[in-house]
Structure 1
Amino acid sequence: MATPEPLLSVRELSVTFPTPRGPVRAVDSLSFDVHRGRTLGIVGESGSGKSVTSMAVLGLHTGAEVTGSITLDGQELVGLPERALNRVRGRRIAMIFQDPLSSLHPYYTVGEQIAEHHRVHFDSRRAQAHRRAVEMLAEVGIPEPARRAGEYPHQFSGGMRQRAMIAMALACEPELLIADEPTTALDVTVQAQILELLARLQQERGLAVVMITHDLGVVARVAHEVLVMYGGRAAEQAPVDDLFATPAHPYTRGLLDSLPRLDDDDDAPLRAIPGSPPSLLDPTPGCAFAPRCPRAASASAEVRLRCSNERPLLGGPSGHPVACHLPAYEGVTS
């Protein structure tokens, strides 16, 4: 049976910002696909390019040079005029931002903000848009939605504000939802409720989801595929079960080892990856992770030189490519 075409296809995406100290390439030659009804988890340390990638998909970078290809159901988005992009943003692609309190306007009620979103894309009347706002608040599990629609963001708890953001994002029934750290500021109980809500809505609507997070627990729970980013590049990509069972890149292995374990002693220190993320102002010609890589450090001088001077390309077994000269499993070539 033929593989279905991806809803979102990103090919050789690069995003470069001009700065007084020189250009910064925050995303470098990134490629991935997202299919309908599936979730792609994008993980990595702060500064790895996760949020920059999501903003590029929506065409939200001003002053940056964006190259490569981003297609939504065959429609090229890179270079699309602003007027045409405005018809895509919020309507076909929606985004949940990290901090709902700063994303919601403090001077307008939650219901007004959701209704305005619907009116912009459907040219609906105020009463119709308000009814839609109340419906969406009810759908995301907010009690007494008609009353809460008339309240302001500061009157909502953190979890309820996040639910309101989800209601706003889904009010226009988008095909693709980008969730940028949607559970970062929430306690674990509310976090679980939000993830269950997103999973239910995805199943009911056939949504394609890009989940951007540094929390590998969230990825293990919701993602079907995982893309690991480091220094603006793809380090490894695999189905979620394969990635957790057989991580091939030493950076992925380090991320997994840094998680606390139930069988650790209570006073056992967390295992950190030594060193710091790479400078994007002066990128290394070789593997960006080489200065922090335990495998490179214990390799021969010839291999260390290769890691420092030759950029590894994403390759390897079908379905589990890795960008590494020293992958952890046999049969992988860079």
Structure 2
Amino acid sequence: MADPGPLLSVRDLSVTFPTERGPVRAVDSLSFDVPPGRTLGIVGESGSGKSVTSLAVMGLHTRAEVTGSVTLSGRELVGLPDRELNTLRGRRMAMIFQDPLSSLHPYYTVGEQVAEHHRVHFGSRRAAARERAVAALAEVGIPEPRRRAGEYPHQFSGGMRQRVMIAMALVCEPDLLIADEPTTALDVTVQAQILDLIARLQQDRGLSVVMITHDLGVVARVAHEVLVMYGGRAAEQAPVDALFASPAHPYTQGLLDSLPRLDDPDDVPLRAIPGSPPSLLEPAPGCAFAPRCPRAATGTAGERARCEEERPLPGGPEGHRTACHFPAYEGAAR
């Protein structure tokens, strides 16, 4: 059987916002693919461009200039009229946002809000859409779904609201699910339940998933491939096992070093990455991570100058791409 190719393909995506102090390029020449039925984890510090990327894929930026290419099953989305995008959002691609309480309307029951998605995309009658909503709530593990469909968002716990958001995203059975920090405000037990739910639904439906998070533990649990972003750019991309076993970019290594480990002595402090993320108003001409990079700091004068003045382009072995002048493909994390 011929390879169907990626479901989602992003090439040279850039997102620029106008500000009073000048343009800010929040995403800069980003490229990645998401094959059918696979999960891509996108990680990085706050401000690295993860959520901006997801909104660009969904076509939800209103003030930003979006350039490059985003294709879903070969169909170009950048520049597509809103009317055509609206037919794809929810039906072919859906998104779970960070804060379910602010994403749900307080004046409507959760059943009405889930049913509305089905009515809009399939033209179903209210009664049929409500039955589909009840089935969707049951599918995501909400007990007594018929009764709870008549309740309001404030009557649900944080974990149950996130389940409602998943039901709303999947009620029309899309091909692509983008989950933007879906477990951020949840305790670890509920986090595990939500991640297991997404994994089960992916297996049952053959979903492609983009999981956006700053939690490397989440990535290790659910992702097949990992994209590490820094300063709006791709720092490293690799299969999850390869990235955790042999991180090539010093930023990826720094993220892994900052994680607590069960085998560390109690008196060993976590190793934080020094410095702060770069200002996108005044982007550096070279590597965005150079001011915080231990390899640049300990290199020769010529190596430091190269890091500070020449932008590294993604390269390296097939399947493990790194935007670093001096990548370290050998050696394991910690």
- TM-score for the superposition, normalised by structure 1: 0.98
Partner of 1:69: 69
2:269 corresponds in structure 1 to: 269
Q: What is the CA–CA distance in structure 1 between the aligned matches of 2:273 and 2:329, rounded to whole Å?
A: 21
Query: In 2, Cα distance between the equivalents of 1:246 and 1:265?
Result: 23
* Deviation larger for 265-274 or 318-327: 265-274
- 1:246 paired residue number: 246
Q: Deviations over 1:17-76 (max 9, x none)?
A: 000000000000000000111000000000000000000001100111100000000100
- Please tell me the residue identity of whatever aligns with 2:273: I
How many angstroms apart in 2 are the aligned matches of 1:182 and 1:140? 14
- State the partner residue of 2:192: 192
Write out per-residue CA displacement over residues 256-304 of structure 1, whole angstroms, 9 at most, x where no aligned residue.
0000011223343221100000000000000000000001100000000
Quote the residue 1:131 is aligned against. Answer: 131
Deviations 1:70-99 (A, max 9, x none): 000010000000100000111100000000
Deviations 1:305-330 (A, max 9, x none): 00000000001000001000111126
1:165 match: 165
Aligned match of 2:154: 154
Q: Which letter maps to 1:65? A: E
Q: Secondary structure at the match of 2:220?
A: helix
2:218 alignment partner AA: V
May I ask how many residue pairs the two structures share in their alignment?
Answer: 330
Matched, 1:295 2:291: no
**Which is worse superposed, 269-278 or 232-241?**
269-278
Partner of 1:324: 324
Secondary structure of 1:227's counterpart equals: strand
Residue identity in the other structure for 2:253: R
* 1: CA distance, partners of 2:114 / 2:267: 47
Whether 2:205 is the aligned partner of 1:205: answer yes
Shift of 1:3: 4.0
Distance in 2 of aligned mates of 1:93 and 1:18: 28
Q: What's the counterpart of residue 46 of structure 2? A: 46
Paired residue secondary structure (2:151): coil
Pairing 1:25-44 to 2, within 5 Å after superposition: 25-44=25-44
2:262 alignment partner, SS class: coil
Q: 1:172 is aligned with what amino acid? A: C
Query: Tell me, which stretches of 5 or more residues in structure 1 are unaligned?
Result: none
Alignment of 1:91 with 2:87, yes or no, is no
Equivalent residue letter for 1:147: R
1:117 Cα offset (Å): 1.1
Counterpart for residue 255 of structure 1: 255
Q: Distance in 2 between matches of 1:175 and 1:285?
A: 39
**Residue type matched to 1:214 in 2?**
H
Q: CA RMSD in A?
A: 0.9
Could you list the runs of 4 or more consecutive aligned residues of structure 1 that deviate by over 4 angstroms after TM superposition? Answer: none
**Structure-2 separation of matches of 1:46 and 1:3:** 36
What is the CA–CA distance in structure 1 between the aligned matches of 2:133 and 2:231, rounded to whole Å?
Answer: 40
The 1-side partners of 2:95 and 2:19 are apart by 27
Could you tell me how far apart the structure 1 residues matched to 2:295 and 2:266 are?
Answer: 29
Amino acid of the residue matched to residue 259 of structure 1?
L
* Matched residue, 2:141: 141
Q: Secondary structure at the match of 1:253?
A: helix
Q: 1:79 to 1:245 in 2, by over 3 A?
A: same
Q: Give the percent of matched residue pairs that are identical in Structure 1 and Structure 2.
A: 84
1:306 aligns with 2:306: yes
Q: Distance in 1 between the 2:91 and 2:329 partners?
A: 43
TM-score (norm 2): 0.98
